[in-house]
Structure 1
């Protein structure tokens, strides 16, 4: 009896322990719309089978599941078509509604994924794979009982990749598609054609890839300056590449296996320098190659229609993108053929001529069984009735188009241009444009309130755009996509009522382990430390606050400029200081650094008594924050649009700083900026720093001529004067402006000097 009681007691303990076993939430992204966990677990083992219907699509999805289990858990499951216990069943209901939806059930008898279509089944598999990763949390394929019912909020969930500016190999394109697929994205907009590179084989016009796919590389010039097509075997450095039709078919098929539609973009009527350098007869007569097809020449339309006729059979999805953005119309307005076209068609201006061009191409594309989609400039002059608009210049174009009854894909520069920076650190890799952080992407919603209720269905969804002016490698592409594509996937998949920013942050932490396991180069920008400094007049102390965007992970720091380790001080409250500090802060995750460090010297020698006198006033457009900007402990980043830069054109920077009291100093430093690629800002030619106790007699502690740096990349030049410590009440700083930009500069006119943050100790 005692033995029996002991056995019963042990069994009760086992039951109790099973029922109280914590549920392992493995951070599914995007968040499913309905999730219900229950007590209990099911473990996938060698004897588990995969049960499918007898179809090619089911077999393909089953093979992907088996490959995943083999790689991650050394399991090789048998696939059967008859019902089984202890099985992973892959079922398809073929519902007409919510075709991308699925249901996932895990019970004691196994796993059942039911897709409303094969696409839904595929998405159910992505959810299962995420539940089984990362292996830091899931050491064996044991899963909690759960019921998930899920379907996407929007049907267009995509990303555009520009391969014209910088070519990406076929295998690298596939890896981009893999990233989209794991996040349940379903559209890949492939920017194959632009002004500086033609990337798709066209049999009727072989020069497009023999010559248009290659460009001369010119010293100290970006690809789009003095752009010149050439041949692959030309002398000198040549850059380029293109996809054969077989390459295109292979990539389209690869995407189709992952239920991603590929939308080709054949740019017209502007951004066409590469094509027009190959076929200059299609430019406006006597006006050189402007990069815009002559709208008065019927051969332009014949050329583009022949190209579209070859493109259409390669891409089964219903859309062809024609670009249509940033069309320079000056050549049209000076061209006799274009003026005749405008007269014959009763067109009043360049916008109406553009509308004529787009409408004529839309009619042809429609005869090929496709729909035209273009950037929101195609609204100018009137939109063809069947055209779809991709709104990139904000929401306005999309609102106008939707309210007029046109389908719209939202893709505004903020926050969906993934070529923009995602962090504020000076260590971020090269980027283009502004600042689109992770949570701005997460909180994006594609339907503005200004769209009338009966027109909201015209918003198909949204997509990110990744232009590659500054991006040359797959690793850099991954960095710009991740983790922002995860945020966008949830913004477009998950119902707004089910979204929760704080829960997303917890799941993105788990997702980082997934991305690490897959060896993706993801950005840690959202967890890199940021700072804010204020001055407490009561205590006469400076107050330094640290945080990161997601407000997770330990921020370790030192105040002596030495890199922090795990044993360094952990930030827990504002740091108060009354003497200068050299902050070095770093986020740590699982005892390893993540993201970029924050390294700044914060001064204390400037008080409210401090006064600055300018010999030459700074520009009001670039005031940096006014007279106190030079010592407000706010450092500018390596961008010309950072509001903390103080700038002036043509004249020298000359300031005298009255500290208001004597300070024992041995160091003075400040930053200057240069970015030839994007601005007229150049480093000064000479910098002088002098100090004085009485304001009359000055001692020069630094004087240096600065050599010219022709690099196109942004530069922050740190100037540092180190001298024997003595009492200082006045500081005088002079930086010689070049006056005029040098001949080798890409611009003409006045040079600017940009200055930021004077530090003293």
Structure 2
């Protein structure tokens, strides 16, 4: 009964249990009806119990608001009167419902009853809980390897099961453009697929000699956003500017630096790394991407919109007379100033429409746009600098929470990339650096784990890289843990023994504690094992 992940703030165990039967009811009101609909469906699939609407709170399970609690805070009480879940808002009630599901046992995560004479019981217990951070995120890269819509919906369910609430949707990159923009149809007609794909790290000699691609229609996006909202997850879209843009330039060559290279000869990139082909600093480029963002804002209601801003090579700008003339015209000083000009433009453009720009920590170079927030990925330094300057920060340092990095040393790890970051390493990650004082630390909105998919060709590979480390990350993001050195990893491993059974019921192809299963290995496919920092992702 104490095998909950993430660990709650407070638990008091009782001595009895509440049994759910054919006669049990689920009581909701107007404010909690959406959560009740989700819970009735989830538990009904697993248990076969109908859980009809109850007339009184004591009929079985009751969901209601308590104005004394915070928006995501909840209280779950299971006693002789039944199960009561109270939250400060619908989100808090939803997280309480996720805890209820864990208390019912691993089979509560199945999509159909297993049959037999099964007792469904909730132990008598009081759980009081609230999240440490408001931003508890997962970034999924669908540009390098496309994940079909059903896979995205599945990951939203997995996020919800771990009380994660921000889905950072990396939709564009050099290797593919994944969202329909009706004003610019060639972005998906041309930019959504590549002729072949490098298999393994970019040093690998292996290729998959077939086209790879896919994209989400605008109705697909609406469905994904609505599905996420039902699970109290915010979807933050990312459209990369001014780097990581070769797919867009392949579709619309005028977006590139045409005075330096023949952009009409470019295709969607089939390799990994950082493409030198970046957006031209022209008014035409700004107007084009304003058109993209106009359609994006209709699809995504999130406060934040991610504009990338990372890994933008400046070589073409240095060689481009047009770019140099733009630097002089605007009095920017150098190419870093030109990148800042790009980001500042879209920061102002989004702010005028009631939204906020967030970008990778390279947006600090050349001066940070006034309202921008920072995703600090190159360690803590960018986040520290941004927080000290009064900017909001999401901590997602590569060295700790890039889940594409290998989980153990040795040759068995499939396509080993980057640092070795074990389950314990992730569990001991601390999002708030000690260099920040209390006022500066308030700018840390939260934290995010990132899944880059260069070497993840399907959902099974994503599962392997994400789990079980995403469970450890979820506890770091939610729970009020002690300092990293004082965290009880042995207790977390004990609770994970039960959690692996939940993941089994959910069909997650996680990395077992003892190492990869034979079919999870990728013998002969090169990764990028390193002792020091990777040169880039």
Closer/same/farther in 2, CA of residues 492 and 472 from structure 1, 3 Å limit: same
CA distance in 1, matches of 2:202, 2:150: 24
**Greater displacement, 387-396 / 207-216:** 207-216
Is the Cα contact below 8 Å between 1:421 and 1:434 reproduced in 2? Answer: yes
CA distance in 2, matches of 1:114, 1:641: 48
For the pair 1:274 / 2:247, whether they are aligned, the reply is yes
Is the Cα contact below 8 Å between 1:201 and 1:209 reproduced in 2? Answer: yes
Cα distance, 1:639 vs structure 2 = 5.7
Cα distance, 1:638 vs structure 2 = 6.9
1:166-204: per-residue Cα shift (whole Å, max 9, x none)?
A: 111000111111111100000000000011101111111
Is the Cα contact below 8 Å between 2:361 and 2:378 reproduced in 1? Answer: yes
For the pair 1:186 / 2:162, whether they are aligned, the reply is no
Partner in structure 2 of residue 531 of structure 1: none
Match of 2:278 among 292, 314, 317: 292
For the pair 1:357 / 2:316, whether they are aligned, the reply is no
Partner in structure 2 of residue 102 of structure 1: 74
Partner in structure 2 of residue 43 of structure 1: 19
Partner in structure 2 of residue 112 of structure 1: 84
Is the Cα contact below 8 Å between 1:204 and 1:306 reproduced in 2? Answer: yes
CA distance in 1, matches of 2:225, 2:199: 37
1:230-260: per-residue Cα shift (whole Å, max 9, x none)?
A: xxxxxx9422111110010011111111111
For the pair 1:77 / 2:65, whether they are aligned, the reply is no
Partner in structure 1 of residue 497 of structure 2: 509
Partner in structure 2 of residue 375 of structure 1: 360
Give SS of 1:112's match.
Answer: strand
1:321-373: per-residue Cα shift (whole Å, max 9, x none)?
A: 01000111111122122111111222211111111111112111112221000
CA distance in 1, matches of 2:528, 2:242: 31
For the pair 1:330 / 2:315, whether they are aligned, the reply is yes
Match of 1:521 among 499, 509, 514: 509
Is the Cα contact below 8 Å between 1:355 and 1:380 reproduced in 2? Answer: yes
Is the Cα contact below 8 Å between 1:172 and 1:474 reproduced in 2? Answer: yes
CA distance in 2, matches of 1:102, 1:421: 36
Cα distance, 1:508 vs structure 2 = 0.4
TM-score normalized with structure 1 length: 0.63
Give SS of 2:358's match.
Answer: strand
CA distance in 2, matches of 1:171, 1:191: 16
Closer/same/farther in 2, CA of residues 216 and 36 from structure 1, 3 Å limit: same
CA distance in 2, matches of 1:642, 1:222: 12
CA distance in 2, matches of 1:238, 1:28: 43
Closer/same/farther in 2, CA of residues 166 and 220 from structure 1, 3 Å limit: closer
Partner in structure 2 of residue 495 of structure 1: 480
Mark the runs of 5 or more structure 2 residues left unpaired by the alignment.
Answer: 110-116, 264-275, 520-524
Give SS of 2:290's match.
Answer: helix
CA distance in 2, matches of 1:320, 1:220: 31
Mark the runs of 5 or more structure 1 residues left unpaired by the alignment.
Answer: 1-24, 226-235, 529-593, 598-636, 644-677, 679-761
For residues 194-273 of structure 1, the aligned pairs below 5 Å read 194-217=173-196, 237-273=210-246
Is the Cα contact below 8 Å between 1:415 and 1:437 reproduced in 2? Answer: no
Is the Cα contact below 8 Å between 1:430 and 1:471 reproduced in 2? Answer: no
For the pair 1:397 / 2:382, whether they are aligned, the reply is yes
Closer/same/farther in 2, CA of residues 195 and 245 from structure 1, 3 Å limit: same
Is the Cα contact below 8 Å between 2:138 and 2:451 reproduced in 1? Answer: yes
Give SS of 1:527's match.
Answer: coil
Cα distance, 1:62 vs structure 2 = 1.9
**Structure that is richer in strand per residue:** 1
CA distance in 2, matches of 1:640, 1:184: 32
Is the Cα contact below 8 Å between 2:197 and 2:212 reproduced in 1? Answer: no
Match of 2:130 among 130, 145, 151: 151
Closer/same/farther in 2, CA of residues 150 and 210 from structure 1, 3 Å limit: same
Cα distance, 1:434 vs structure 2 = 2.0
Give SS of 2:250's match.
Answer: helix
Cα distance, 1:383 vs structure 2 = 0.1
Cα distance, 1:49 vs structure 2 = 1.5
Closer/same/farther in 2, CA of residues 372 and 218 from structure 1, 3 Å limit: closer
Partner in structure 1 of residue 28 of structure 2: 52
Give SS of 2:417's match.
Answer: coil
Give SS of 1:167's match.
Answer: coil
CA distance in 1, matches of 2:240, 2:527: 30
Is the Cα contact below 8 Å between 1:374 and 1:389 reproduced in 2? Answer: yes
CA distance in 1, matches of 2:226, 2:353: 21
For the pair 1:172 / 2:151, whether they are aligned, the reply is yes
Cα distance, 1:454 vs structure 2 = 1.4
CA distance in 2, matches of 1:208, 1:381: 29
Partner in structure 2 of residue 433 of structure 1: 418
Give SS of 1:312's match.
Answer: helix
1:279-331: per-residue Cα shift (whole Å, max 9, x none)?
A: 11122232114421111x11011111111111111001111101000111111
Corresponding residue pairs, total:
501
CA distance in 1, matches of 2:17, 2:359: 50
For residues 528-677 of structure 1, the aligned pairs below 5 Å read 528=515, 641=529
User: Which has more radius of gyration?
Assistant: 1
TM-score normalized with structure 2 length: 0.88
CA distance in 2, matches of 1:642, 1:263: 31
Give SS of 1:422's match.
Answer: coil
Is the Cα contact below 8 Å between 1:441 and 1:487 reproduced in 2? Answer: yes
Is the Cα contact below 8 Å between 2:27 and 2:59 reproduced in 1? Answer: no
1:488-507: per-residue Cα shift (whole Å, max 9, x none)?
A: 11001111249632211110
